[in-house]
Chain A
Amino acid sequence: MSCHDARESLSAFLDEALAPEERQRVAQHLEGCPECRRELARLEQTVALLHRVEPARAPVGFVDAVTAAARPRPWYRRVVAAVFLPFSVKLPAEATALVMVALLAVYVFDRTPALQESARTQPEVREDPREKSARPAPPTALTDRFARDSSSIERSPESKARPLEKEQDRREAPTARERIASEAETPKQEAAPAPAAPRLDTAPPVAAPPAATAPAAPTSPAPGAAPPVAKDEGAFQKSQAENRQAPVPPTAEGSRGAPAAPRLAAKRAAPSADAVTGIAVRDRDAAERDLAELIARVGGRETGRRREQEATIVEAVVPQPRYAEFTQSLARLGAWRVEAERPDLPAQVHVILRLQ
């Protein structure tokens, strides 16, 4: 056995961990090799030094800490641990709470149409109509919808004689629920700012054949229509909020039954009109009287009127030269807003006013 091989086994030789034959061979080598004997001695002394190392002692309280940690924790602590402890970067409780409150607020806002209404309509109440008319062209879908729904208004003989819209569309007008659904499908277009003279541009020309069957067209779906489910209503109101003038709390009288439907009808009452104006009034009866008076004063005439639960829809024809005076006088009735207005008004301006 070489010195190299022997020295490789010296440690195990010391520990008596060698097989008998190998131990024998190492022992034989050691007998004739003083260098390896010296090496063995030094190794033995080193191990002896190691044995002098004082044993380490666990810190005081170690047992308590371990047994406490091993105890099953109450469920709420496990939940907290699952949320906060697995992350190397702990979630600050304050930041987490803030985010959760923000998410809750968004959720509540999203689910509460009244909040959305007030958020969107209030700043627009006093908007200058001229500014509005300068806005970008309206989406076609909106135009179509208004054209379709115009039949929900009762018309005087004069107004029946007016070219209103495509008769075909009117006959095939969808039910209230279908409309709501289709409106909900076009959120992008609806989300655009309240269109100025939108539907009017694409509406049929005034000279188009009169809609003789207008009165026979589907009546307002509002009263008979089943109240839309909450989701539909929310989607609808969201899409319609831009056209609304004053906030109408959903809990207002009569709104519990079929809240969306009347509004829908009112909203749709803007078929081939030249202007659509919404007026927020305190007393509808008084406002209706004042409006009739005002129309007469400017030399116009009322061509249709329908009272609904939440609004009164009045159609009128006003001579164009006095139209400006007419709109300015509307301020007496309440906060008003032009929702749509044809840029080039005809000699006889067909205006639809919604009192609510």
Chain B
Amino acid sequence: MREAEAGDAPRFLARLRAGETAAFEELVITYQHRVFGVAVRMLGNAAEAQEVAQEAFLRAHRALADFRGDAKLSTWLYAITSRLCLNRLAKGERRLRRQGEETLLRLAGGERPDVAVERGELEAALQRAIAELPEERRIVVVLRDLEGLSYEEIAEALDLELGTVRSRLHRARADLKDKLERFLP
């Protein structure tokens, strides 16, 4: 979070708006894992997630001059990424949908599936449960419980009412609770 806060410093924003290459690179370095993380949780495929994450940064790069700073940079980036993911899911541009679950199993560090399995049944079940959520619920729980956004930030990023964010998050967590029942004490 410290990096994100640093990214919102007025001087840094000014450098970004001026099109300074080094500033943009700094932005990518700071947010790459978060943007990629949202994409890979949503799309379930690393290659596709990389494509979308890159597109998100490029769109941000083109729009940086117009970025007014009303929202946090991180929220703005999450908004772009979420929109790209949901659009792609809605349009059915899924080339590798079936590989999603396998990818989710080896998200952390890119291990081979067998290694990931060794890391624990719980981990695998978690990944699978998230991947199986309906998209509009999945994005909310990803932004909230995996990325740590506040309800307000989620509402802003997804352009939703606060109440909608709340109910979708509740439904998502309830789904996950049912699916992960056997792991709960």
The reply to whether A69 and B58 contact each other, CB–CB distance below 8 Å, is: yes
A34-61 toward B: CB 8 Å interface, digit per residue (1/0)?
A: 0000000011011101111111111100
CA distance A10 to B127 in the complex (A): 23
Q: Is A17 close to B, CB under 8 A?
A: yes
Among A42, A46, A47, A52, max chain B CB count under 10 A is at A46
The reply to whether A51 and B145 contact each other, CB–CB distance below 8 Å, is: yes
For chain B, what secondary structure do more than half of its interface residues adopt (helix, strand, loop), or is it mixed? helix
B interface residue numbers (CB < 8 A to A) = 21, 24-25, 28-29, 32-33, 35-37, 40-41, 46, 49-50, 53-54, 57-58, 61, 107-110, 122-123, 126-127, 130, 141, 144-146, 150-151, 166-167, 169-170, 173-174, 176-177, 180, 183-185
Interface residue tally for chain A (C-beta within 8 Å): 31
Given the contacts A49-B126, A50-B146, A53-B126, A43 and B173 also touching, CB distance less than 8 Å: yes
> Which residue from A50, A62, A71 sits with its C-beta under 8 Å from B32?
A62
CA distance A51 to B40 in the complex (A): 17
CA distance A53 to B29 in the complex (A): 22
CA distance A53 to B53 in the complex (A): 20
The reply to whether A50 and B185 contact each other, CB–CB distance below 8 Å, is: no
Q: Which residues of B contact A17 (CB under 8 A)?
A: 150-151, 166
User: Which residue of the partner chain A has the closest CB to B125?
Assistant: A49
The reply to whether A59 and B110 contact each other, CB–CB distance below 8 Å, is: yes
For chain A, what secondary structure do more than half of its interface residues adopt (helix, strand, loop), or is it mixed? helix
The reply to whether A67 and B21 contact each other, CB–CB distance below 8 Å, is: yes
User: Which residue of the partner chain B has the closest CB to A52?
Assistant: B126
The reply to whether A59 and B50 contact each other, CB–CB distance below 8 Å, is: yes
Q: Is A95 close to B, CB under 8 A?
A: no
Question: Besides A15-B151, A17-B150, A55-B37, 13 other CB < 8 A contacts?
Answer: A17-B166, A42-B177, A42-B184, A46-B180, A47-B173, A49-B176, A52-B122, A52-B126, A53-B123, A55-B108, A56-B36, A58-B53, A70-B58
